[in-house]
Homo-oligomer: A and B are copies of this chain.
Amino acid sequence: MRLNRLTDYAVVMLAHIGRPGRESGPEAGGRRVVTAAEMAADSGVPLPTVAKLMKLLAQAGILASQRGALGGYRLARAPERITMAEIIAALEGPIALTACVDGREGDCEVESLCPMRGNWDKVNRAVRQALDAVTLADMSLEPQRFPPVAAAAAARPVAQAS
């Protein structure tokens, strides 16, 4: 159920690219251009790994790449129009919880006992919808510095304990 580390990195980086950025210049096409090397430096993730990720995201049409000197990557669209489902699909393939899905047959060795070929689609559809509803913009929001629960605890210091 957990998604792999690379996908996690990807979301963090995409959110980072999407955010305004400190030393913002003219910015081609209205969106920030960032190099893989920059991303690596900013994130601590090793450069070759970052490069691989960016590549995949570019192929999926989530990032637009510019080769050569002064090149780099920028979001292909506004963050509001990039969904989690898309990002995850780009890095982990189609969103489907099991192998016996989407018409692909013959992979399921226990077909004898498995009259549920179609039932998984219900689950997959549900999950896909859930992930379509969350955009990169949602993920880019800076949450309040302290979570609500901590704030509440601070407001009512030590009382009622014991």
From residue 54 to 80 of chain A, which have CB atoms closer than 8 A to chain B? none
A113/B1 contact (C-beta < 8 A), A8-B98, A119-B141, A123-B84 known: no
CA–CA, A58 to B95, complex, Å? 29
Q: How far is the CA of A140 from the CA of B143 in the complex (A)?
A: 41
Partner of A97, one of B2, B117, B140: B2
**How many chain A residues touch the partner (CB < 8 A)?**
50
Q: Which of A103-147 contact B (CB under 8 A)?
A: 109-110, 112-120, 122-123, 126-127, 129-131, 133-134, 138-143, 147
A-B contact pairs, 30 of them (CB 8 A): A1-B88, A1-B95, A1-B96, A2-B96, A2-B98, A2-B99, A3-B98, A8-B99, A11-B116, A12-B110, A15-B119, A44-B109, A44-B113, A84-B123, A115-B143, A116-B140, A117-B143, A118-B143, A118-B147, A119-B138, A119-B139, A119-B141, A119-B143, A122-B134, A122-B139, A123-B134, A126-B130, A126-B131, A127-B130, A130-B130
